Amino acid sequence: MKLFLFGIEINSEYELEINTEEDFGFDIEVKYKEDVYDDAEDIYHNCTEFHHLYNKKGMKDFPDRISSAFESDIHSTGCTRQINLLEYIKVDIAKVLHEKY
């Protein structure tokens, strides 16, 4: 799985937690592997926190359940995605306030 932070590819093997106080947070694009969900993509808008591999230590015996979390205080919601299902995650600064997460 590849991880891009503000247009730069970084090592995706390490835990990473970033928060923002930017007006519109982050937009996070998630692309699933070709054999998962027919090569689908999701975009989570106005996230205020991204926590990559947040559960890695607790899931050492279950590596297929290791996940990344996307949270939005702006929209009062969030979700997680298992990284073994993903082709990449791209995190960028959001430029607008979206109506929906």
How much is the pLDDT for 21? 86
What is the β-pairing status of strands 41-47 and 49-52? unpaired
Domain boundaries, the chain: 2-93
Q: Which two tokens stand for residue 67?
A: 């996940």
Please write the tens of the pLDDT for every residue from 10-41: 999 999 999 998 899 999 999 999 888 776 99
Residue of 24, 76, 74, 72 lying closest to 51 (CA atoms): 72
pLDDT at 59 over 90: no
How much is the pLDDT for 61? 81
Q: Which two tokens stand for residue 4?
A: 């891009």
Taking the model in full, what pTM does it have?
A: 0.92
Please write the tens of the pLDDT for every residue from 37-56: 776 999 999 999 999 999 88
